Chains A and B, each alone.
Chain A
């Protein structure tokens, strides 16, 4: 119970207390104190009727006690006075509080890793140790990163407020990027981050229900997450086309597709919504590849990046064949991207050519263990395949154009 309340209410409590106390550290400490008290009292006295309100009130009282104890300077006494005279409604949850906190954590003047860490810490309630583990950095490094970011928020006065309308689109983009980055960190093997990103996505959608891209990101995450079980088989990565659709999470698919339909009715497309729509098409097996290509065309218009073009080429291979797709792939300047080589390898293989060199190149660049395993498996399959071919080929040694070579 307390774990559930903690996950659901930590961010809300910190955001309310930050507004009341005007300081992130004080707010965090007070909320942690309140949860410690809850862990002691709830099992004995029972869970209060409004657990979230209880946490916030207790945290506020704890903060007042603490400030009173430590009040030496005039400033702190003033702070206590302020708290005592604050009208009761001040500690109640204003829906904007969590939005304020999200926009503070994702302020563009903070480096991206700092934004991610603050968001997970302050809104998600993850511990520094948990965040450090999730991002594979030493705990001291992560602790320094968080302390530094909080110090900058305080000293440089990063405002605790929802940006004005004129700045909102850009600032919202930054927030969504942080949530999506957290999700992607969870994509291969760290499901707790995937879950946390979806939870943040739901919070955002609840707080900004009129922003289609917020829903687009939520739908995208739901649909990708629906394939979590099917994507990893005994720790091995399974590509979409090899997945068993029966292992997809039907509830997540239904919810994701439902949100995509709602986005379509808005008719204010954006990158997340289009990527969600692509995933919605994939979720109706077998995939309608013509629709996927059309959606990638739309995505390329608003997000003209070679990575998008690469994904589009994968769909083109299905509608126009591997040869057309390979031509498009090879025109892309993505030499440093492992998927570029992995896609090339696949297309070469389908054209009956040796994919080994491309697979080696992909392996050189891929970092994630599951992806590297998959590439190694493909590489050994390709080697075996080449041996078979060499044996067959030996019999047609003098034929300069072995069978099936397209001459136009």
Chain B
């Protein structure tokens, strides 16, 4: 039985890097995803639009409050994530390490998925 993990990518708000920087990074990322697929670790991966495009909803009494912008304040938000399956945390951390290396200097948060 394997465990699923969410690998969240935290990135600073603002413009994406110019194409000549982003291009090689995306190519490396695709290569890593390919390797994850080949090893049976890859479950799902997405990239997100900037946090400024987000809307937060919260139900209170009979009303649902709506706020423009992401849930957490701050200068860094989730820019995308990958879901993987692994035998244990060591294996998940190894994939996380690879992802962090490809996306350096962005931080990767590895978190076990309770149910899906």
Contact = CB atoms under 8 A, between A and B. Distances in A.
B90 A156 contact: no
Contacts of B87: 157, 159
User: Could you tell me the dominant secondary structure of chain B's interface residues?
Assistant: mixed
A44 interface: no
Interface in A118-160: 155-159
B112 A155 contact: yes
Contact of A159 (B88, B110, B111): B88
A387 interface: no
B89 interface: yes
User: Could you tell me the dominant secondary structure of chain A's interface residues?
Assistant: loop
Interface in B96-116: 110-112, 114
A356 to B, nearest CB: 46
B93 A157 contact: no
A312 to B, nearest CB: 35
Contact of A158 (B5, B89, B111, B114): B89
A109 interface: yes
A157 B112 CA distance: 8
Nearest to A160: B88
B93 A109 contact: yes
B3 interface: yes
Interface string B1-32: 00101000000000000000000000000000
A158 B112 contact: no
Q: Which of A107, A157, A158 has the most CB of B within 10 A?
A: A157
A159 B90 contact: yes
Nearest to B94: A167
Interface residues of A, number: 9
Contacts of B88: 157-159
Nearest to B114: A155
Nearest to B90: A159
Contacts of B93: 109
A134 B88 CA distance: 33
Contacts of B5: 156
Q: Which of A109, A156, A159, A167 has the most CB of B within 10 A?
A: A156
A156 B87 CA distance: 10
A155 B115 CA distance: 11
A107 B92 CA distance: 14
A167 B93 CA distance: 13
Contacts of B3: 156-157
A107 B93 CA distance: 12
A159 B112 CA distance: 13
Contacts of B89: 107, 109, 156-159
Interface string B66-105: 0000000000000000000001111011000000000000
A163 B90 CA distance: 9
Contacts of A156: 3, 5, 89, 92, 110-112
A156 B89 CA distance: 6
Contacts of A107: 89
Contacts of B110: 156
A175 to B, nearest CB: 15
Nearest to A155: B112
Nearest to B113: A155
Q: Which of B89, B92, B93, B111 has the most CB of A within 10 A?
A: B89
21 contacts: A107-B89, A109-B89, A109-B93, A155-B112, A155-B114, A156-B3, A156-B5, A156-B89, A156-B92, A156-B111, A156-B112, A157-B3, A157-B88, A157-B89, A158-B89, A158-B90, A159-B87, A159-B89, A159-B90, A163-B90, A167-B90
Interface of A: 107, 109, 155-159, 163, 167
Given A156-B110, A157-B92, A158-B90, 10 more contacts: A155-B114, A156-B89, A156-B111, A157-B87, A157-B88, A157-B112, A158-B88, A159-B88, A159-B89, A159-B90
Interface of B: 3, 5, 87-90, 92-93, 110-112, 114
> 4 closest A-B pairs (Cβ-Cβ)?
A159-B88, A157-B88, A156-B112, A156-B89
